[in-house]
Amino acid sequence: MSVPTTDARPAADGPPATDRRITLERIESYLPERSVRIEELGERLGLRRAALGVFRKFYGLDTLRFEPELPLLDLLRPAARGALAALPEGGRVDYLAYAHVTQAVAPADVDVAREVGDALGLVDTEAFGLSHQACVSSLGAIEVLGELLRAEGGDGAYALMVTGEQAYSPIVQHVPNTSIMADAAASCLITLDGDGDEVRSFATRTLGEYAQWLELTAEQNTEFGEQYGRRIAEVIHQAVAEAGLTLDEIDLVIPHNVNKLAWRQTIKELEVAPEKVFLDNVPRYSHTFASDVFVNYTTLRDAGRLVDGAHYLLVSVGLGATFGAMVITHRAHHPRTGGESR
Beta carbon nearer to another protein, 212 or 222: 222
3-state secondary structure 238-300: HHHHHCCCCHHHEEEEEECCCCHHHHHHHHHHHCCCHHHECCCCHHHHCECHHHHHHHHHHHH
Nearest one of 103, 98, 39, 48 to 66, comparing CA atoms:
39
Distance between CA 140 and CA 235 in Å, rounded? 13
Q: Which of 10, 46, 53, 121 binds another protein (CB under 8 A)?
A: 53
Q: How many angstroms from the chain centroid is the CA of residue 106? A: 20
Do 203 and 238 form a contact (C-beta atoms < 8 A)? yes
Beta carbon nearer to another protein, 98 or 228: 228
Contact between 18 and another protein by CB under 8 A: the answer reads no
Beta carbon nearer to another protein, 53 or 68: 53
Site string for another protein, 120-149 (x = CB under 8 A): ------------------------------
Contact between 268 and another protein by CB under 8 A: the answer reads yes
- Considering only the stretches 67-75, 186-194, 223-231, 282-290, report the one whose residues sit in contact with another protein under the rule CB under 8 A: 223-231
Question: How many CB atoms are closer than 10 A to CB 214?
Answer: 12
- Surface-to-core class of residue 186, CB atoms within 10 Å of its CB (0-12 exposed, 13-18 middle, 19+ buried): buried
100: Cβ–Cβ under 8 A, 6 or more apart, which residues?
Answer: 112, 129, 130, 131, 137, 163, 164, 165, 289, 290
Contact between 213 and another protein by CB under 8 A: the answer reads no
Q: Which of 98, 158, 228, 312 binds another protein (CB under 8 A)?
A: 228
| Size of interface with another protein, in residues (CB under 8 A) | 25
Contact between 222 and another protein by CB under 8 A: the answer reads yes
Beta carbon nearer to another protein, 7 or 40: 40
One-letter amino acid of 50: A
- Scanning residues 178 to 197, which ones bind another protein (CB under 8 A)? 178
Do 289 and 102 form a contact (C-beta atoms < 8 A)? yes
Nearest one of 235, 259, 260, 261 to 313, comparing CA atoms:
235
Q: Strand 250-255 relative to strand 35-37: parallel, antiparallel, unpaired?
A: unpaired
Contact between 57 and another protein by CB under 8 A: the answer reads yes
Q: Which of 58, 170, 213, 338 binds another protein (CB under 8 A)?
A: 58
Q: Which of 225, 274, 309, 335 binds another protein (CB under 8 A)?
A: 225
Site string for another protein, 245-264 (x = CB under 8 A): --------------x-xx-x
User: Rule CB under 8 A: which residues touch another protein?
Assistant: 49-51, 53-54, 56-59, 176-178, 221-222, 224-226, 228-229, 259, 261-262, 264-265, 268
